[in-house]
Every structure is written in C-alpha cells, then in structure tokens.
A and B are shown apart, each in its own frame.
Chain A
Amino acid sequence: MIAEIFDALQYAFIQRALVAGSLIALNCSFLGLFLVLRRFALIGDGLAHVAFGTIGLGLLLHSHPIYVSVPLVMLASLWILMISEKAKIHGDAAIGLVAALGVATGVMLASVGRGFNVDLFSYLFGSILAISRGEVILSVMLSLVVLMVIVLFMNDLFAITYEEEYARVLGIKTRRMTSMLTICTALTVVLGIRVVGTMLISSLLIFPAVTALQVARCFRTAIIIAAASSVLSVVFGVFISYLFNLPTGATIVYVSFLLFGTAYLCGRLF
C-alpha cells in the first residue's frame, strides 16, 4: 500500500491535485467558517450558477468565459450581500435569487447567440485530476491573497461575524470587511471551480467549517481544525481514490463527511 502511494506520487497530475487541491481547500476552509456562521454557506453553489450565466455573455463577446466570469461573479457576490442587507432577506434566499437570475441569463443569452460553439461547461468547470501548471500557480497566488486577508484582519472578521453591532461600536469598518470577505469568496469560487469543479468547491466551503464547529471551543481552534480537516480530506481523498480506483472528487466529499461524523461524535461525547 505504501509502495502504491509512492507510485502515485510520481505522476505529475497527482502532485498537482495534492498541491493545488490542498491550497484551494485551505482557502475554502477559512472562508467557509465565516460564511457558514453568517448563513452564506450555499454561496459556492449560488456563484457557480452565476458563473453559468456569464457563459452566455462570454459567448456573445467571443472571449474566454473565465475573463468574463471573474469580474461578473464578484459583482454578483456583492449584490447578494446588498440584497441581504437592504431588502431584509436572509443570505440563503438572496443567494437563491441571484443564482436563479444567473441561470436564466445564461439560458437567455445562449438562445440569443443561437447555441454554444463548444461545450463551454468544460471550460468553466474543472476536475481535480486535470489541473494544469498555470492553474497550480493560480491557486498558489490565490491562497496567498486570501491568507493575507485572513491573517491581517482576523480579529475584525471574527468581530463582525459574531456581533456586527458591537464591532461597529468598536470602530471596525464592518461594511468594508464584509465586502472584502465576499470578494475573496467570489474569487475563490470562480477560480476554484475552474481548478477543482463545482462539487468540490461547495463541499470544501461547508464541510471543514461545520466539522470544526462541532468540536472547537474558540474561534482560533475552529480555524485550525477547519484548515486541518480540509487538507486532510483532500490528501486522503486523492490517495484513497488512487488505491481503490474511485472517482477522486466524490471520494474527497466522502472523506470530508467522515471527518464531520467523527467530529460530531467527539463533540457529543466529550
């Protein structure tokens, strides 16, 4: 078994899956913690739908969908935030609203453009086994940015997540913080979808966070547990899927679920 794992490590695509996958997972686990606490857990799925909408536009503008997707999905994420603040709707409903609109836009524009020339989904949605070198570099840069934001503003982010009013009294620029968090999320989601696919992005945003919240007693521990469980699930997921010849993305989701189950039991027992 150990020998087989060493075999697996010789392939560049496995190495890439481990490196880029772990980095994206790390990002998602940090952001996921704030998102889950603020009831924005499904934003990964929601923004994936918005990304679909931008396919139509990319089609009309004859440009690679990713260039259109990144700015537009960022805007959409800010819009979700605005709706949930201004219109007295909870985050989940705001996500649903924008997501539905995104899909409708995609269908509408695709129809206006008389069909897709190629299967654009394959350009927008990636797979953890098919990561290119460019995408590895992209994941490294992305995680540097997100990590910097989290480390620099850790306390502020924590404050606005638990008690927004109090944070405002303390003089924290809550709006700016929230927008920054949302933009980081949008960036992670769009680029992450391109690198590891929709299913993994939404599971990596939710699982590590809920796992950590089962056992953690304070916010710092929660962040550490979330980060550890996300990276563990990717690494174990990749190796298990290699050893037992299973699809990798789905295996990672199962490993995440297993970690969550363990955390849940631990949380009850101790």
Chain B
Amino acid sequence: MKSRTCLAVMLSLLITVHWGFPVHATDDPGPERLQVVATLFPLFDWARIIGGEKSDVNLLLPPGVEAHAFEPTPRDIVAINKADLFIYTGESMEPWVRNLLGSLTNRSLMIVDSSEGIDYMEEARHEGAGAEGQGRHDSIHDHEKEAARRHDPDHQHSRHHDKIEGHHHDRHGGKDPHIWLEFGNARKMVNHIARAFSEKDPASADLYLSRAAEYNNQLIQLEKAYEQTLAGCRHKTLVYGGHFAFGYLAARYGLKHISPYQGFTPDAEPTPKRIAELIDYMKQSGMKAIFFEEGIEPRVAKVLGRETGAQLLLLHGAHNVTKEEMARNVSYLSIMEENLERLTRGLECS
C-alpha cells in the first residue's frame, strides 16, 4: 500500500517535470523577445529600459516583498530556467543565487552579476555619535581603505577571499550590498546589463548600447544635481531611523550618518541610551528632519520625531517598490529624484 502511494507520487512528479520542459524547447514563439529575469527593482528598471520592446523583463521579487527576506519559490526557478538572461545584484545581496546556479539545467541562460568590477564597501557600523555629538563615520574611512587596496596587486585575490569568508557571519557577508544607490556604480551596472543584452542579441547590439549610453547621461545629470545640492547643506549628518542602505551615496558626497541601530539588522533592538544620545544630538545641532526607510513602520524614527519635533522624511532605498508605486510607474530615476528633494529639505541645502 505504502509503496504504491510512493510510486504514484513519483510518477506524478515525473509527469510534472516532463511537462515542465518541452514548453521551452518546442513552443518557442517566432518573433524573438529576450526573456529576462531581474532580482531587484533597479535591475528590473534598467533592463526594461535597455530591452524596451525587444524583451520581456520580469521582476523576481513580487512587489512589496522585503528584499533581504526573499528566497525563490520552485516556480521562480522554473521561470529562471526558461529565461535568456538572469540579472542579479551580487553575491552579498542575493546569497541564494550561488545555490540556484548549481541547480539550473538551462544551458543557454546568461547570468549577469551586475556587481562585477564594483568595489564593495565594508558594512557601515553605526557606532559613535559620542558625547560631543559627532557621528564617527566608519564607511568613509573604509572607502579610503578600499581605495588604497585597489593598488594592491593581490587585491583581486583578497577580495574574493573576503567574499567567501564573509558568508559565514551574516546575510550580507560584511559587505554593504546596496551598490545601486551610488550613480557611478549604477552606470557600471547599466553597462553590464547592456553588454549582456548585446551578446544575447547581437543584431540589436547598437540599439541596446545607445540606450544604455543615453540613460547613463541622465544618471550623470542627476549625479551633478546631487553634487551641487549636497555641497551647500547646513547639516552634514543624516539621522536615519532604519537600516542604512545609503552608505555608498553618503561616502560619495561626504555625508555622515547615524542611526539608533548598532548593526545592520533592522530587527535588533536599539538601546535606550543610544536613542537618548540621538535625541540630544538632534537637539544640539538643530536638525529638523529624520530619515526613514521604505517598507516598514518607522517606530523608532517616530520616537525621535516626537521628542525633537523633527519631521520624518522617507529615503527610498529602491530595493523593491510597492504595488501602488509599481502602478504609479515609479522608476529608479524618479525615486532618486525624490530622495534628493527630501535630502535637500532635511539637510537644509541651498
């Protein structure tokens, strides 16, 4: 009896698997549209701009799902198996990709690691904001260290080593994975995507590359706007009530950031002393805004706001967008433009 049930289950599994594949092999529609799967919202946005009418781009994360908590479902894996291009941010943002790659049977799939050639920063630790009320900012320091290391001939090797080793302690592997929030990195990522499109579909290579170049010009414009605006701000420190994704951006424009959280995990509880220090700091420096991240109820930021009378401003990390935002057609550019507006207000830039 038992073995018969077992057999039935196995048989039905076999049938399912068997049905799963030929769809891809035989039912290929005539006009070639590249099937693209992107993991995070910025990658999805860039891929749909570069691919345009020549591609079907799918966002792997359903709208509104928290990026760090995501793992692919079996059906996602089937979708990736049927795709032409799979674009992901990098090892430290999506650690599950490594396992996934091993299980794929799709030989024609092109995998794009968009972080290739981008130097990761160490994860920012939010210590400091000490007695004198000045946030000690680790990531600027790390950035310098990283720059120095770039001249190191063994650099490649050591970075690779770090990556593997970093895997043991936490989900980000000690590296700040939010590389897309700095425009230099964003341009590199756009270029990676465009190159992958051109390799997959050489006939339209020029189109893809010119679209990427055009888009990168827009990024440069925005970058200039950031540079000009953020150079003339009354405050140079961001008070952030969440897990800080803007390490790259802050380092680039010489901003400091302080947060009630000790590490990166938004779940870890902040200590009362830390919150008290931040309140004192905000009162002393006359800061009128506190920033919070998308997708959570900013409870701790609200506490700070209540105590200091500061207003709460959203700083959107663009990991993922909500259904409503998707319907409103937000883009990476529009999110970053809004971020600049709020930074201008919060840091009182002229």
Contact = CB atoms under 8 A, between A and B. Distances in A.
B66 A245 contact: no
B296 A132 contact: no
B274 interface: yes
A130 B303 contact: yes
A13 interface: yes
B27 interface: no
Interface string B289-305: 00000011101101100
Contacts of B79: none
Nearest to A114: B62
B101 interface: no
A108 interface: no
Interface stretch (B114-122, B197-205, B217-225, B264-272): B264-272
Interface in A1-58: 7-8, 11-14, 17
A123 B272 CA distance: 21
B273 interface: yes
A126 B299 contact: yes
Q: Which of A117, A238, A242, A250 has the most CB of B within 10 A?
A: A117
A17 B275 CA distance: 13
A48 B306 CA distance: 28
Nearest to A248: B272
> Interface size bucket, A side?
20 to 34
A117 B297 CA distance: 12
B323 interface: yes
B64 A122 contact: no
Contacts, number: 86
Given A116-B65, A118-B64, A130-B303, A8 B297 contact: no
B63 interface: yes
A129 B62 contact: no
A238 B296 CA distance: 25
A115 B64 contact: yes
Q: Which of A11, A115, A126, A238 has the most CB of B within 10 A?
A: A115
Given A11-B307, A13-B275, A132-B302, A248 B269 contact: yes
Nearest to B70: A115
B324 interface: yes
A197 to B, nearest CB: 8
A104 B58 CA distance: 28
B174 to A, nearest CB: 22
A8 B322 contact: no
Contacts of B275: 11, 13, 129
Contacts of B66: 116, 119
A127 interface: yes
A123 B299 CA distance: 9
Given A115-B64, A116-B65, A241-B271, A122 B297 contact: yes
Interface in B151-186: none
Nearest to B65: A115
A132 B306 CA distance: 9
Interface in B35-77: 61-66
Given A14-B272, A245-B271, 9 more contacts: A7-B276, A11-B272, A13-B307, A14-B276, A17-B272, A127-B300, A241-B273, A243-B273, A250-B269
Interface of B: 61-66, 268-276, 279, 295-297, 299-300, 302-303, 306-307, 322-324
User: Which 3 residue pairs of A and B lie closest in terms of their CB atoms, listed nearest first?
Assistant: A130-B299, A115-B62, A117-B64
